[in-house]
Structure 1
Amino acid sequence: MFKKACSRKPFFVISSAMQEIEPSYQWESIYNASQDPKSPFYGRSYSNTEYINTIYSYYIHPLWDDIDSETLYCKILFTDYSLQFTVIELMGEWNDTLHNDIMLFKRGVIDHLLAAGIKYFILVGENVFNFHGSWEDDYYAEWFEEVEDGWIAGLCFPEFIEKEWNKYKIDYYINFGGTLQIPNWRTAKPEMLFLLIHKILSNRLGA
């Protein structure tokens, strides 16, 4: 049995249960970003009982990491520096229109990982409930250029968000949709998930 399939629920349906949405934890016995000296979240401590961060006045689970956005949070689930990949789960509303979330995410998280040699990025978007785009794509373009021969993959983002990404040409920078809807990704070991996505994108990009 899968823990849960790729989410298709819009934000307003589940906003009343925001604090119940936890980051995925299936790999925490083998990786913890707060204990990784190369992680941007190294040294952070967490409480399972004290709720501080909110999205539109709804408290969210305290295990999500704050990136200085009003509506978007993340969790680095796994990073392998030898294979040069990371898996990052996102939660909330991705808002480039008002909050320039791509800038906050790029500067606060991605730049640290790029500096540590990461060039393959797997973004898990089951719990991203909305996307507000901007025609300014500088940070997406910068990220895309900096991975060089790597890639950025969006895993299990809701279909309506993928449509918005297409509208704002984010598909030029982030690969998503189709075979990247992998509902049983939690049951895979992180290395196997990476190799699967690498194969999918190699076929897709003709590499």
Structure 2
Amino acid sequence: MHNIEPYSGWLKYYDSASDILSPFYGKEYNYDLYSDTIYGYYIDPGWDYIGSETLYVKMLFVDYDHGYAVLEFIGEWNDAVHNDVMFLKRNLVDEIQLEGVNKYILIGENVLNFHGSDDSYYEEWLEDVEDGWIVGIGFRDFVIDEMNNYNVDGYINFGGPLEITNWRTLKPMTLCQRVDELVMRRLGM
């Protein structure tokens, strides 16, 4: 897992360590020292800790004016034992939501497993976005299936035209606008 790096191609557009509104503002990354682990496996120092032992994140892009956030994940999304959605909601989402973010693109290519529990934090999150949305792209089919078993799909939009496999080839605002259009079309707006 140590060789799975968060996507760095958008650093010229956004860097969470340089964003004064980011929970990771001022963080210094030491790429010579691997200290964070998931189940005893070291992960790349570029990932950010949100309070969970099993799930780490990278804020790839945030546009406060338009309300967009693109978040990439690594690890096991474990709500059953570690209540990862609570850590995500309280330590990251609540912070940037105060600054106007209400549209979330969650990139789950490196989410290796999901263990569900109740859906109260997902419900709270969706209520908080009001006119916004939450979209998951790149999640593995078996992870989506498990999330669906816990009704997470009632809060996070997955699949169909939202499955944008070439997201890395797009500029961040282009990805956000494309997802926004697809969600609005899906919702019939």
Q: How far is the alpha carbon of 1:129 from its aligned partner?
A: 0.3
Aligned to 1:157: 139
Residues 150-205 of structure 1: CA deviation (Å, up to 9, x unaligned): 00000111110110111110011000112222111001011110111011111111
Q: TM-score, normalised by structure 2?
A: 0.98
Output the aligned Cα RMSD. 0.7
Aligned to 1:107: 90
The 2-side partners of 1:123 and 1:150 are apart by: 14
Answering whether residue 10 of structure 2 is matched by residue 27 of structure 1, we say yes
Q: 1:116 aligns with which of 94, 99, 113?
A: 99
The 2-side partners of 1:180 and 1:24 are apart by: 19
Structure 1: runs of 5+ lacking an equivalent: 1-17
Moved runs in structure 1, 4+ residues, more than 3 A?
Answer: none
Answering whether residue 39 of structure 2 is matched by residue 56 of structure 1, we say yes
Q: 1:76 aligns with which of 48, 52, 59?
A: 59
Q: How far is the alpha carbon of 1:24 from its aligned partner?
A: 0.2
Kindly provide the amino acid, as one letter, of the partner of residue 169 in structure 1.
N
The 2-side partners of 1:197 and 1:108 are apart by: 25
Q: 1:37 aligns with which of 3, 8, 20?
A: 20
Aligned to 1:175: 157
The 2-side partners of 1:191 and 1:30 are apart by: 9
Aligned to 1:96: 79
Q: Is the 8 Å Cα contact of residues 157 and 177 (structure 1) preserved in structure 2?
A: no
Residues 109-130 of structure 1: CA deviation (Å, up to 9, x unaligned): 0001110100100000000000
Aligned to 1:13: none
Aligned to 1:5: none
Q: Secondary structure at the match of 1:143?
A: helix
Q: How far is the alpha carbon of 1:53 from its aligned partner?
A: 0.4
Aligned residue runs from structure 1 range 128-139, under 5 A: 128-134=111-117, 136-139=118-121
Alignment: residue pair count = 189
Answering whether residue 168 of structure 2 is matched by residue 201 of structure 1, we say no
Q: 2:129 aligns with which of 147, 153, 160?
A: 147
Give me the identity figure in percent: 51
Aligned to 1:184: 166
Structure 2: runs of 5+ lacking an equivalent: none
Q: Is the 8 Å Cα contact of residues 156 and 180 (structure 1) preserved in structure 2?
A: no
Q: How far is the alpha carbon of 1:30 from its aligned partner?
A: 1.9
The 1-side partners of 2:84 and 2:177 are apart by: 29
Q: 2:70 aligns with which of 69, 75, 87?
A: 87
Q: TM-score, normalised by structure 1?
A: 0.90
Q: Secondary structure at the match of 1:152?
A: strand
The 2-side partners of 1:84 and 1:56 are apart by: 34
